[in-house]
Amino acid sequence: MYDHKKLSNQLETLSNNNMNAKKPIRIVVLGQCGVGKTALVSRCLQNTFPQDSSSGKDISHRYNMTINKKKTVCLDIVDFNDKNDALISCADAFIICYAINDRKSFEAIDAYLDKIVEANIKSPKIGIVGNKIDLYNDREVTSTEGLELAKEINSLFYETSAKVPVIDVRQVFYDLYQSKER
């Protein structure tokens, strides 16, 4: 015999949990093709470096992050492919990546900032990430240039390598979440 009361209690619990649950923080990762967006996301989620990361599709990942060993928050991390600007208007925060060995990818940051402005997002939280610092001998963008841009637009700034992590790339996502909560 089917227990209707048990189902009713389960649905009520589910409903209450959904009402109390915060909506995930959506972080959209922007940047030109080849700067290492997918690798950065992969390093954050699985602590791996993908050998082939040229999907060409928007990929959304759910990631539960523990904050201060007490609180777990849900991040919706979107690996953006430049073909669906509508995703920008749904974002809570952004990571804009460039490759330190590719000046054009750094210069393209302005176009991504314009898209964020056009989406009319109130007080967007942004992290600028100079990726591929393992290729420091081929550097075309200095750390100072990245830092100055970040200061100019009031954003966070990091240099790292998704291939050979210098900082735990999860720190970028953690700090962006923390800045969004303030």
CB distance 70 to 4 below 8 Å: no
Rounded to the nearest angstrom, the gap between the alpha carbon of residue 29 and the centroid of all alpha carbons in its chain is 4
| pLDDT tens, residue by residue, 109-155 | 999 999 999 998 888 899 999 999 999 999 999 999 999 999 999 99
Predicted structure pTM score: 0.79
CB distance 96 to 1 below 8 Å: no
Among candidates 53, 71, 55, 73, which has minimal Cα distance to 63? Answer: 73
Among candidates 176, 151, 171, which has minimal Cα distance to 160? Answer: 171
Q: Can you tell me the distance from the alpha carbon of 154 to that of 83, in angstroms, rounded to the nearest whole number?
A: 27
CATH number at 166 reads 3.40.50.300
Question: In terms of residue numbers, what domain contains 53?
Answer: 23-179
Q: Can you tell me the distance from the alpha carbon of 161 to that of 133, in angstroms, rounded to the nearest whole number?
A: 5
| pLDDT tens, residue by residue, 7-44 | 334 333 333 333 334 678 888 999 999 998 988 888 87
Flag whether 121 is in a domain.
Answer: yes
Flag whether 4 is in a domain.
Answer: no
Indicate the number of domains in the chain: 1
Flag whether 10 is in a domain.
Answer: no
